[in-house]
Amino acid sequence: MAILTRSGDRTIEEKEALLGYALIAPALVLIAAVILYPVLYNVYLSFTIVPLNPNESPQWIGLEHYSTLLGSSQFWGALWTTVVFTFFSTTLATLGGLGTALLFNRAFRGRRYVRGLVLLPYVAPLISVAFVWRFMLDPLYGIVPYIGSDLLGLYDGNVDLLSNGDTALWSVVFIDAWRYFPFAFLMLIARVQAIPSDMYEAAKIDGASKFAQFKDITLPELKYILATVFLLRWIWNFNKFADIWLLTRRVETLPIYAYKVAFANYQHGQAAAISMVLFLALIVFVLGYVAWALDW
Amino acid sequence: MSTKQSTYRHVVDSFKNALGVGEATIETSLFERVVFYLAMGLTLLVTLFPFYYMTVASLLPESTLYTLPPTLIPTEITFEHYRTVFGPETFPFITYFKNSFIVSVVTAGASVVIATFGAYSFARLDYRGRGIFSRGVLMVYMFSGILLVVPMFQVIVWLGFVDSLASLFITYLVQTLPVSLYMLGNYFRSIPEEIEEAAIMDGYSRLEVIFKITLPLSAPAIVAVFFFTFMIAWNEYLFASIFLQSQSVFTLPIGIEALSSSFRQVWGQIMAASLLTSIPLIVMFTYLEKFMVEGLTFGAVEG
């Protein structure tokens, strides 16, 4: 619809557009200055040696950092740890959320309160959550080793679950899934409740079992949202730093490797290259996943 | 069925409906109900146990805290750990709390204001480049902190902001802006456009429409966005750990981490500090739960 009314020298459409630019400008300027510029600067830094003295300029070395990474077993190990951590924590959190959403998809007394309580791990501060788990897993006085080892005899009591190389990764995977399953639950519960109940009525009349109902009605109805939840959690878990770092120093994912290289070894150029590889690996995964799972 | 019985059923049903327990009792067998309550109990146990244990451990005297079997139901409680946390001798918890609070409130406030206007622009106004801007913001949403940490450190050093809360404020503001823009944009699009068009017909300007109609209608979403940006800033560890050096500017995550690495066996104090750190978020969440859940469905918040 063309609006020809003039007020001043500009049409209403022009004024709307100008207002649009004016309103978005502060956000765009900030994002460009504090995100886009640093990201591009990071690309540049990854080709340089960054001197400790901030007044000296970085020294261009081309692809050297990248070739160092390709030949480093520590790098490949960290990449593998990242993939294992991300895959299992994402899958567990998504399944946990799905299970809880299906379980709570019915009317019962106090449902609102129960739902609020289930969100607590996701809402509580990371620092508190990380430290209570560290205390609960403490090899001397922790309640988890007491139950798991002393009472149930599941493993040898001298093993410190968070600093033992074999168990640290799985402890972190479990704690991460515990913290983030409420996110999946929240995203899924709305969709679960929106499935029309007459679909189940019809299936019941046809004599479909609970499992058949789940496979043929629930899963197809939730396919899109499940795929989205999995993707979002994958992106965030792939980049995860603080959750792992605060729990243990024995799990070295790529973000942690980059952090150590940057701020323990002060090799900022090398660290920039690691974060670039992390980013590229994530982009490749996301594009492949989207092409495979979602019809965008 | 006699009249008496049907009257009785009617009364029972209306009470059940009034209490919100009507549906569950209609078709489910006793067995199903038992399984359901067991599963719910287990879910709640797994979810809540760490918080219960945090509370118990913060109240146990040292003598029972470090004994086996671990104490689940305290017979003797003490507020000694809390006294230590609030006392200035061991570590300046109040300073950390204040720093975290200032950074989080300022970040959340600024993020909400800037994002409200930006999101309105995306959602309602028509101009060239709008699509690219809004998709670009979604892309930025995917950048990780670790990708920014090296260049941001260089920039912050160059600006001379190292070891100041200003460095965190800038970083957090920009990290929360994409989330806020996305959530508010989705919310604004859900408000029927006809309401605003009617107001424009009545002679309101766009800005008047925003302030008198859109903002009041969006109060729940704005509250939710404030809470989520506050939560992101309250939790942030990565940037704080590299920008901050002196105790006087530490935020809670850095401060508590420093306490744990410089002393051995201070679990009582750490649990007390952890609980106190959780309180602002849990109080806000309890009061605003309805808005929070609504807000989350308008945009996934990184975590």
Q: Cα separation of B55 and A243, whole Å?
A: 21
Please report the pLDDT score of residue B16 as a whole number.
59
Q: Low-confidence residues of chain A, pLDDT below 50?
A: 1-4, 6, 296
pLDDT given for residue B18 in this prediction: 57
Query: Which chain A residues are closer than 8 Å to B65 by Cβ?
Result: 141
Residue of A nearest to B299 (CA): A187
Provide the token pair at B219: 């109060």
B36 touches chain A (CB under 8 A): yes
* B3-7, B106-110, B127-131: segment of lowest average pLDDT: B3-7
pLDDT at B129: 83
In chain A, what is the greatest distance between 2 CA atoms, to the nearest angstrom? 83
* Least CB–CB distance from A236: residue in B128, B151, B303: B303
Query: How many whole angstroms separate alpha carbon B241 and alpha carbon B230?
Result: 18
Are residues B117 and A259, on separate chains, in Cβ contact within 8 Å?
no
Which chain A residues touch B257 with a CB distance below 8 Å?
Answer: 127, 246
Name every residue whose Cβ is closer than 8 Å to that of residue B284 and which is 6 or more positions away in sequence. Answer: B227, B230
pLDDT at B25 over 60: no
Chain A contact present for B200, CB below 8 A: no
Closest Cβ–Cβ partner in B20, B153, B267 for A135: B267
What's the mean pLDDT when you consider all of chain B?
A: 84
Tell me which of B150, B197, B282 to substitute to probe the interface with A (most A C-beta atoms closer than 10 Å).
B150
Tens of pLDDT, residues B198-208: 888 888 888 88
Cis preceding-peptide flag for B69 (omega within 30 of 0):
yes
- B166-214 pLDDT, tens per residue? 999 999 998 889 888 988 888 888 888 888 888 888 888 888 888 888 8
**pLDDT at site B1:** 46
The residue among A138 and B10 whose pLDDT is bigger is: A138
Quick count: other Cβ atoms within 10 Å of Cβ B275? 22
Best mutation target, B146, B215, B279, B290, to test chain A (most A CBs within 10 A): B146
Rounded average pLDDT over B92-120: 93
User: Could you tell me the two tokens for B32?
Assistant: 């199903």
Q: Look at residue B24 in the predicted model and tell me its pLDDT.
A: 46
> Which residues in chain B are contacts of A23 at CB distance < 8 A?
117-118, 120-121, 125
Query: pLDDT class for B108, splitting at 50, 70, 90?
Result: very high
- What value of ipTM does the predicted structure carry? 0.89
Spatial distance between the Cα atoms of A28 and A20, rounded to a whole number of angstroms: 12
Tell me how crowded residue A77 is: count the other CB atoms within 10 A of its CB: 14
Helix, strand or coil, per DSSP, at residue A200: helix
CA atoms of A262 and A252, how far apart (whole Å): 14
Question: Which residues 82-101 of chain B have a CB within 8 Å of chain A?
Answer: none
What single string gives the DSSP state of each residue in A48-98?
Answer: EEPPSSTTSPPEE-TTHHHHHHHT-HHHHHHHHHHHHHHHHHHHHHHHHHH
CB contact under 8 A, A28 and B133: yes
Question: CA B65 to CA A52: how far, in whole Å?
Answer: 45
Residue A122 has which token pair? 């996701």
| Average pLDDT over every residue of B289-302 | 65
Burial of residue B36, with CB atoms counted within 10 A of its CB: 0-12 exposed, 13-18 middle, 19 or more buried: middle
Q: Please tell me the distance in Å from B3's CA to the nearest CA on chain A.
A: 29
Q: Say if the Cβ atoms of A135 and B137 lie within 8 Å.
A: no
Express each pLDDT in B261-279 by its tens digit.
887 778 899 999 999 999 9
Q: Output b/e per residue, A210-228; b: 16+ Cβ within 10 A.
A: eeebeeebbeebbeebbbb
DSSP class of residue B247? G
